[in-house]
């Protein structure tokens, strides 16, 4: 990485520039997007019987859904090896006064409010997405290892998994 890609230590973006993402960051984003897309589609086929009848083989759809669920943490864990990713995670994890101003503003897209690399909407979306991934992974593990849990826990996990998947699909 040359001097053009260096970032200020404060985490703020200099006025007039918009740093691009590294190749590793793009790989993480795309691979996670593909896996999440497969999960949304296979989950829809498993949840809605009319869609499931189009495939015919529910076991293959279920297996694809489960394998994809196991793959979700891999890009995120690999991303932690990247300093650029960790720096961006720090930026996404901090709400500043300008972020609140950006959210309240009707003309937020005009660029009059300096927000840095990520605007407040991107920060909220990333928080929701990561939280949803963690909860979906946890509830998916309860359903996968169903023999280890009581009926009440399995029922609750299924309920949360299904409704959060619907909310996630709406957000996507």
Give 4-29 as a DSSP string: GG---TTSPPPTT--PPPPHHHHHHH
The per-residue pLDDT for range 96-147, each reduced to its tens digit, is: 888 888 888 888 878 788 888 888 889 999 999 999 999 999 999 999 999 9
Per-residue pLDDT at 66: 95
Report the pLDDT averaged over residues 141-166: 95
Q: Which helix (H) or strand (E) holds 55?
A: helix 49-55
Q: How much is the average pLDDT of 18-44?
A: 88
Reply yes or no on whether the pLDDT at 2 is more than 90.
no
Q: Cα-Cα-Cα-Cα dihedral of 53, 154, 143, 169, to 10°? A: 60
Between 158 and 116, whose confidence is greater? 158
Tens of pLDDT, residue by residue over 86-96, are 898 898 888 88
45-60: pLDDT as tens digits? 998 888 877 887 888 9
pTM of the predicted structure, to 2 decimals: 0.79
Flag the least confident range among 6-10, 18-22, 163-167: 6-10
What is the per-residue pLDDT for 3? Answer: 43
* Higher pLDDT pick, 25 / 15: 25
Residue 39: which region, alpha, beta or left (left: phi > 0; alpha: psi -120 to 50)?
alpha
pLDDT of residue 12: 56
């Amino acid at each position: 990485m040359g001097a053009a890609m260096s970032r200020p230590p404060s985490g703020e973006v200099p006025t007039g520039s918009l740093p691009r993402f590294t190749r590793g960051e793009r790989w993480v984003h795309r691979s996670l997007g593909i896996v999440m897309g497969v999960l949304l589609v296979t989950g829809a086929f498993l949840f809605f019987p009319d869609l499931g009848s189009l495939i015919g083989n529910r076991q293959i759809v279920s297996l694809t859904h489960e394998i994809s669920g196991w793959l979700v943490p891999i890009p995120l864990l690999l991303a932690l090896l990247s300093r650029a990713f960790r720096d961006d995670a720090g930026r996404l994890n901090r709400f500043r006064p300008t972020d609140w101003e950006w959210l309240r503003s009707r003309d937020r897209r005009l660029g009059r409010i300096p927000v840095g690399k990520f605007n407040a909407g991107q920060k909220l979306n990333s928080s929701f997405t990561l939280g949803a991934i963690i909860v979906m992974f946890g509830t998916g593990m309860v359903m996968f290892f169903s023999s280890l849990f009581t009926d009440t826990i399995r029922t609750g996990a299924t309920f949360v998994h299904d409704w959060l998947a619907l909310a996630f699909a709406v957000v996507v």
